[in-house]
Structure 1
Amino acid sequence: MSVVLPAGYHDVVLVVVNYGSSRLLATNLPRTTGRSGVRVVVVDSFSGAGERAAVTRLAAAHGWELLAPDTNVGFGGGSNLGAARAVAVGARVLVFLNPDAWTDPAGLAALAAAARSQDRVLVAPRIHRPDGSVYSRGLTYLHRADGTMRGRRTSPDDVPWLSGACLAVGARLWEELGGFDEDYFLYWEDVDLSWRAVALGARLEVVDGAHVVHDEGGTQESRGRAKSETYYRYDIRNRMVFARKNLGPADVRRWRRALPRAARAVALRGGRRQFVQGIGPWRGVARGMVEALGVR
């Protein structure tokens, strides 16, 4: 379906952070934007000369603006670079989308409409996997007692958050938040952003009319269910970074005691077989544990 963003919506900028995913960009980004006329900023975190050349060709062919840092700046750093450029060219609404995720122009318009509300609001869609199963119903809840994640609130102290696979936010709120915290590099920066948004009095909103498909792990080199070494390292490490930045001493102590159990749960997301196929998963888990325990 050809959808052009309504008049007044051309101050929407779509920000995508790429790392070694030019093939995904070539497929997913055009189906998301269609003929909507939305402005696109792609930030290519450096992963190699060949990938940089491929992304440069794609950007030229589709009219995307390309930002090309010399290093891998991580998800938060790349998002912040793209958002800064978007705001500089007059964006009032920012939409962040993973390279391994896609929607359509109608979904994009629905997200933009919700984010440009006069209210302070952080917006996300419902997210599905390619097979139609639910990846995220929008809100996920962080159990404050031990840092586990749940699909529904089971305690008044549970912390709601929105997945960074696709987020929309007004530029004014984004600047008030100061963007993503780049100390995370990868993973948990969306939990942190949601936490800080709520602390500022903003709402977290799920847009039922916007549906996004997320091919989780599509940007990682993997076999079967296996995750990347980087995934294990930062997912384990960053739970303690989040706790130290945002929670009180008693919570931090509980999270530290729960860390071995949490690390095991993270490791098993990729299945058991990966641990007999190479040392990468072991190394990622071990490094994540060491760095998490070193967070002070």
Structure 2
Amino acid sequence: MKPGAIVLLNFNGEKVLPDFLPSVLQGSSLPIYVIDNGSADGSLDYLQAYERKGSLSVLPLAGNFGFAEGYNRGLAQLKGRYRFFILLNTDVRVTPGWDQQLLAFLEQQGSAAFAVQPKILDAKRPEYFEYAGAAGGFLDQYGFPFCRGRILMDCEQDTGQYTDSLTVDWCSGACMAVAAEHFFSLGGFDADYFAHMEEIDLCWRARNLGLQLWCLPAVAVYHQGGATLAVAHPKKTFLNIRNSLLMLMDRSPLASRKRLWRARQLFDLLASGHFLFQGKWAHVQAVRAGRKAARELLKKRAEAPQHLRGPISQRQPVLRSVILARYLKGRRRYQAL
């Protein structure tokens, strides 16, 4: 079995691929695969031109299956061939040797290591951390994600304040190396998520089985973000609300589910009020639709088994609420929590 492969997932990436793919081709030494999620623009032709040169391999899918199932189907074609996969967004610029450093770190951690992410900086503002992962992801007691270097929408400037490697609650789907054996034994990503927060759900399942997740800030990549779905798009709000509730109900201990659902109802009401104040009616509707969709999916899905449930966070102490810390106490930096 070969050591590892870099696997990107493309969907209509014609606008971002020319700016980011060359750095991956130049700065990497592992084989590169690109899963194409039924793109309808010119990006598949662009990728196939590189394939003819032998620079990468394209794994075309018959339609757009989203991030979760798109990766599941693409990685299934590579099962048994590689010990590790590095999952990489198409709008990420890498640095030389990044791939070998991530794999070497995972190997050093032994069989209990599931995933590692690098430090993720903003491709548009390279001196700042980027929203999707920053220097390692965590969850507060209500399941809201935050990062070293990013509190809600506030991204810190990288001044060297987070240089130590540490275990985290979740690794970013923008760039994460995973142990293939564990990925497949966990069943991969949950296809019901389609996109957004599926990596956090996967990482929570891994933690509940005693596996470790890491951030390695010695390796840096640069992520643009919003290449497939803009941050301000109501669909993103819908997916984040729905998927966050799915994850919370499926992964948290059974005894705390009702309490967490009621608490999240209050937070979602506050979010709706915030959007209404801003005149963003489409986002108000997205919050409502997200909660409704979560309830409907939870009714249809089989109840998650007990062994895949466990503590929301391995961080000690567990943060009570990142929203209250930010808006009531004015804490915009991870070190102030």
Q: TM-score range by the shorter chain?
A: 0.7 to 0.9
How far apart are the structure 2 equivalents of 1:25 and 1:266?
34
How far apart are the structure 2 equivalents of 1:55 and 1:18?
9
How far apart are the structure 2 equivalents of 1:264 and 1:62?
52
Q: What is the aligned residue count?
A: 273
How far apart are the structure 1 equivalents of 2:13 and 2:61?
15
Distance 1:166 1:261, change over 3 A: farther
Answer yes or no: is 1:218 the counterpart of 2:227: yes
Specify the alignment match of 2:235 in structure 1.
230
Kindly state the Cα deviation for residue 96 of structure 1 after the two structures are TM-superposed: 0.3
8 Å Cα contact 1:240/1:292 also seen in 2: yes
8 Å Cα contact 2:14/2:42 also seen in 1: no
8 Å Cα contact 2:14/2:41 also seen in 1: no
Matches within 5 A, 1:260-271: 260-263=265-268
Higher mean C-alpha displacement, 48-57 vs 162-171 = 48-57
* Residue type at the aligned position of 1:134: F
Specify the alignment match of 1:149 in structure 2.
145
Answer yes or no: is 1:16 the counterpart of 2:8: yes
SS in 1 for 2:16: helix
Kindly state the Cα deviation for residue 236 of structure 1 after the two structures are TM-superposed: 0.4
8 Å Cα contact 1:93/1:116 also seen in 2: no
How far apart are the structure 2 equivalents of 1:55 and 1:270?
39
SS in 2 for 1:207: strand
Specify the alignment match of 2:33 in structure 1.
41
How far apart are the structure 2 equivalents of 1:103 and 1:31?
6
Candidates 244, 252, 267, aligned match of 1:247: 252
8 Å Cα contact 2:27/2:97 also seen in 1: no
Candidates 160, 172, 180, aligned match of 1:171: 180
* Residue type at the aligned position of 1:163: S
* Residue type at the aligned position of 1:85: Q
> Percent identity at matched positions?
26
Higher mean C-alpha displacement, 49-58 vs 15-24 = 49-58
Higher mean C-alpha displacement, 261-270 vs 179-188 = 261-270
Kindly state the Cα deviation for residue 83 of structure 1 after the two structures are TM-superposed: 1.9
8 Å Cα contact 1:33/1:105 also seen in 2: no
Distance 1:143 1:46, change over 3 A: same
Answer yes or no: is 1:124 the counterpart of 2:117: yes
* Residue type at the aligned position of 1:147: G
Kindly state the Cα deviation for residue 201 of structure 1 after the two structures are TM-superposed: 1.8
8 Å Cα contact 1:127/1:212 also seen in 2: yes
Superposed CA offset, 1:194-221 (max 9, x none): 112112221111112211111121332x
Distance 1:173 1:227, change over 3 A: same
* Residue type at the aligned position of 1:128: L
SS in 2 for 1:87: coil
How far apart are the structure 2 equivalents of 1:258 and 1:43?
39
SS in 1 for 2:191: coil
8 Å Cα contact 1:235/1:266 also seen in 2: no
Specify the alignment match of 1:198 in structure 2.
207
Candidates 49, 53, 68, aligned match of 1:76: 68
Specify the alignment match of 2:84 in structure 1.
93
Which residues of structure 2 form unaligned runs of 5+? Answer: 149-167, 300-337
Kindly state the Cα deviation for residue 34 of structure 1 after the two structures are TM-superposed: 0.9
How far apart are the structure 1 equivalents of 2:112 and 2:18?
33
Superposed CA offset, 1:257-281 (max 9, x none): 23345446777999976727xx4x4
How far apart are the structure 2 equivalents of 1:262 and 1:126?
29
How far apart are the structure 1 equivalents of 2:274 and 2:93?
23
Higher mean C-alpha displacement, 92-101 vs 258-267 = 258-267
